[in-house]
Chains A and B, each alone.
Chain A
Amino acid sequence: MNWIYNPWPWYVSGPLIALVLFVLLMIGKRFGMSSNLRTMCTICGAGKASGFFRFDWKAQRWNLILAFGVVIGGFIANTFLSTDTAVQLNPEVVADLQSKGFESAGQAYMPDSLFSNDALTDPKVLILLIVGGFLVGFGARYAGGCTSGHAISGLSDLQLPSLIAVFGFFIGGLLMVHLLFPLIF
């Protein structure tokens, strides 16, 4: 049973994500995590700001419960199902990141320089986290879905719109990592 405590390989994780998709379809639900962000806006009263948020959010209650489960899952996996969470990256990536100031590359799950509590006292880090989150939220709704809605369930349904969205995800990601990162870090 030791394998549980190690990182799970792609050929275990990918099929398990497909299992989540299967179970959701079989209980009559559609896989999509970013819809929850819209529901949260509605619950906070965003219906006053735009008709986009005027919908019966109770119909999305199941998805909020699922998202709450994901939070619990993150806690369980980190606390009880992991001994060492350091991500074994390609050594070239470790060297590259360390030269950019990410000293925790290869030794941690998340970069200390962005996700340690101390990092929040750095205004630059704060701005990067805010801009990154904002783009994810804005872009996901503009594109009508995120990695789960487009890349997993949309592509599984052979939807051309989802393929266009996934191309977009990659264009954006490659621009950020290859063109913008050298300017930021």
Chain B
Amino acid sequence: MRSIIYLGIGIFFGIVLFKSEAASWFRIYEMFQFKSFHMYGIIGSAVGLGIIITQLIKKFKIKSFYGESIDIAPKDKSFSRYMFGGILFGLGWALAGACPGPMFVLLGAGYLPILIVLISAILGTLVYGIVKNKLPH
């Protein structure tokens, strides 16, 4: 039963990402050129509402639909891993024009070259796992 819920949320999220054009390479390029408000509007309104939702859940200790408490673990404190990792991610995001969510969307939409990007992203994750202890975190 819960699997159906996860599948349903995924389908909905996939449709939103495609229809919002957040999965379009062109929109990502346009965003980094500061030539359209579109992507900033999407991320800004999602985060604005997200802040209200998350803070209300925390403030009023709202229980999940299953009656369990919702504990959101804070991220580990660090600067270098977020900055360096973030920069590498950003370089790839702008070049491939897709972050992980949109990769799955584009696969479904039939853009087969995205499979190369997705497999390379899995390889990048693998290499990170192997060299992670040698990197500043």
Interface residues of A (CB under 8 A from B): 4, 7-18, 20-28, 30, 33-34, 36-38, 40-41, 44, 46, 49-50, 52-53, 62-63, 65-78, 81-82, 87, 89-90, 92-93, 96-97, 105, 108-111, 114-117, 119-120, 125-126, 128-148, 150-162, 164-178, 180-181
Contacts and interface: CB of A to CB of B under 8 A. Distances in A.
Interface residues of B, number: 115
Contacts of B100: 33-34, 36-37, 136, 140, 146-148
A171 B90 contact: yes
- The majority secondary structure among interface residues of chain A is helix
Contact of B15 (A77, A152, A158): A77
Contacts, number: 492
17 contacts: A14-B43, A16-B16, A18-B48, A22-B53, A25-B64, A27-B64, A65-B6, A75-B110, A82-B19, A92-B35, A109-B24, A135-B124, A137-B128, A139-B90, A152-B43, A168-B90, A176-B90
A138 B114 contact: no
Q: What is the predominant secondary structure among interface residues of chain B facing chain A?
A: helix
